[in-house]
Amino acid sequence: MKSKMILMMGGQGVGKGTHARRLIARDGYGYVETGAILRGLPPESPVAQIMARGELVPDADLFDVIAAELDKSGDVILDGFPRTLGQAQWLVQKYVDKFDIRVIYMDVPEDIMLARIEKRIREGGGRADDADAAIVRRRLDAFWKTTMPAIEWLRNAPGVKFADVDVTNENPDVNFERISAALS
Ligand code: AMP
């Protein structure tokens, strides 16, 4: 039987990590949190410097890292990968035979993303790349320009089940219920 792979997709601050951790606590998936893996690299490394500018890390620097995680995974949730069309196509081509791939697209307007990032700062979830408005803007631009084409491609990719989930409710429990319903 194939393992399950859930891709949590959406812009900054939509709640990908929060809801991923909740699904994991409930259902026991493995967790591949790309941003956290990359933040573990030494600050002087080229990848860390790209991240500090709010830009995307080149696809080629990620494939080995992600493959190492997935090759040892059973049921798994990916948070922050894929973020480009190339990453999406690589992932589906390489893993569609091993995993049932489901996409949860957490659709949220930009003003709500910005409000949630501000809340994350206020609540001390302190990440260096959240604190600077220009860097937040660059990450949002990368989402619309580079990640949206990947999401649109996944919507119709063979072997992929895609769900649009409205997570704009102010109550995270309501949003989590909607994600659970989309997965059931
Ligand atoms: P995140 O914690 O998911 O917001 O990721 C933080 C930063 O890590 C991003 O702004 C990018 O610089 C980098 N990053 C994370 N995931 C990816 C990815 N799939 N492709 C390219 N860069 C990434």
Residue extents of the structural domains in the chain: 3-183
DSSP per-residue letters across 21-82: HHHHHHH--EEEEHHHHHHTS-TTSHHHHHHHTTPPPPHHHHHHHHHHHHTT-SSEEEES--
As a whole number of angstroms, the distance between CA 40 and CA 88 comes to: 23
Q: What is the pLDDT of residue 126?
A: 64
For ligand 1, say whether the CB of 34 is within 6 Å of any of its atoms. yes
For ligand 1, say whether the CB of 86 is within 6 Å of any of its atoms. no
Q: What b/e readout covers 9-28, taking b as 16+ CB neighbours within 10 angstroms?
A: bbbbbbbbbbbbebbbeeee
Strand ranges inside 108-143, DSSP E: none
The CATH architecture annotation of domain 3-183 reads 3-Layer(aba) Sandwich (3.40)
Distance 144 CA to ligand 1 centre (A): 14
* Average pLDDT, rounded, for the chain: 93
Q: What is the pLDDT of residue 133?
A: 87
Distance 159 CA to ligand 1 centre (A): 25
Exposed / middle / buried, residue 148 (Cβ in 10 Å: 0-12, 13-18, 19+): middle
Indicate the length of the chain as a whole number.
Answer: 184
Residues 122-129: contacts with CB under 8 Å, at least 24 apart: 128/52, 129/51, 129/52, 129/54
Q: Please identify every stretch of the chain with a pLDDT value under 70, giving residue numbers as ranges.
A: 125-126
Q: What is the pLDDT of residue 151?
A: 98
CB contact at 8 A, 2 and 74: no
pLDDT digits 0-9 by tens, 18-50: 999 999 999 999 999 999 999 999 999 999 999
Q: Which atom of ligand 1 is nearest to the CA of 53?
A: 12
CA 22, distance to chain mean position in Å, is 15
Distance 19 CA to ligand 1 centre (A): 18
For ligand 1, say whether the CB of 147 is within 6 Å of any of its atoms. no
**Best of 18, 51, 146 to mutate for ligand 1, by most ligand atoms within 8 A of CB?**
51
Distance 80 CA to ligand 1 centre (A): 6
Q: What is the residue with the minimal CA distance to atom 1 of ligand 1?
A: 35
